[in-house]
A and B are shown apart, each in its own frame.
Chain A
Amino acid sequence: DIVMTQSPDSLAVSLGERATINCKSSQSILYRPNNVNYLAWYQQRPGQPPELLISEASTRKSGVPDRFNGSGSGTDFSLTISSLRAEDVAVYFCQQCRFTPYTFGQGTKLEIK
């Protein structure tokens, strides 16, 4: 199985500041024939199901604010929130959908400092 490891486990950032969450996969999730990294980011607010933010490592889902940006390739990926807002408090998960069993990172809890 591909192991997805996020860092840090928790993060406290001031409103308006930048937050960066990292995700590393135990093997490459780049599909070379189409040059697509099958890496997704989800946001999970308390008591809610996860919501898809980003697919293919860097493509925002329609309606997701442009302060959310994904980057990376191969085995190393990042999610950056450029200017933190109160409604961004949540747990964030990365997921690889390149190989089954699909696997998730352990989650990063983002709080306001």
Chain B
Amino acid sequence: QVLLQESGPGRVKPSETLSLTCAVSGGSISSHYWHWIRQPPGKGLEWIGDVYYSGRSNTNPSLQGRVTISPDTSKNQFSLRLISVTAADTAVYYCARQVDHDPFDIWGRGTMVIVSS
């Protein structure tokens, strides 16, 4: 059974960098696509981007080049880095798996990140 677990600081100061990690257990990241999605409190879902184990990634243009998503095959995990955060980046951040063109079949439990000084 593949499980995903997000980790990272729960609070980040405005203008600083948000860094999260998604640990994958029960399966290898050296296949499929791995995604980050976020959900502001009480709101809908926003796709942030994805990465393949080779390092090839796609990110949402709405985030204006602030996002980097990277794999770490040695630790079987992948990471999210979001620079220059503002209060609008406050959200629950989820990682998820995608097989081929299928939708996201496995999600982490999510981690809440609050941007506040």
Give chain A's interface residues, CB within 8 Å of chain B: 1, 36, 38, 40, 42, 48-52, 55-56, 61, 93, 95, 97-98, 100-107
Give chain B's interface residues, CB within 8 Å of chain A: 44-47, 50, 58, 60-62, 94, 98, 101-105, 107-110
Task: Give B111 Cβ to nearest chain A Cβ, in Å.
Answer: 11
Task: Give B64 Cβ to nearest chain A Cβ, in Å.
Answer: 12
Interchain CB contact under 8 A, A49 and B109: yes
- The secondary structure that dominates the B interface is mixed
Interchain CB contact under 8 A, B102 and A55: yes
- Give the contacting residue for A40; candidates B94, B103, B109; CB below 8 A: B103
- Give the contacting residue for B47; candidates A42, A56, A104, A107; CB below 8 A: A104
Q: Find chain A residues with CB under 8 A from B109 CB.
A: 48-49
A38-B101 in contact given A49-B108, A49-B109 (Cβ < 8 Å): yes
Q: Find chain A residues with CB under 8 A from B110 CB.
A: 49
- Give the contacting residue for B104; candidates A52, A98, A105, A106; CB below 8 A: A52
Apart from A38-B101, A48-B109, list 13 A-B contacts with CB within 8 A: A1-B61, A1-B62, A38-B103, A49-B107, A50-B94, A52-B105, A55-B103, A55-B105, A97-B101, A97-B102, A101-B61, A103-B47, A104-B44
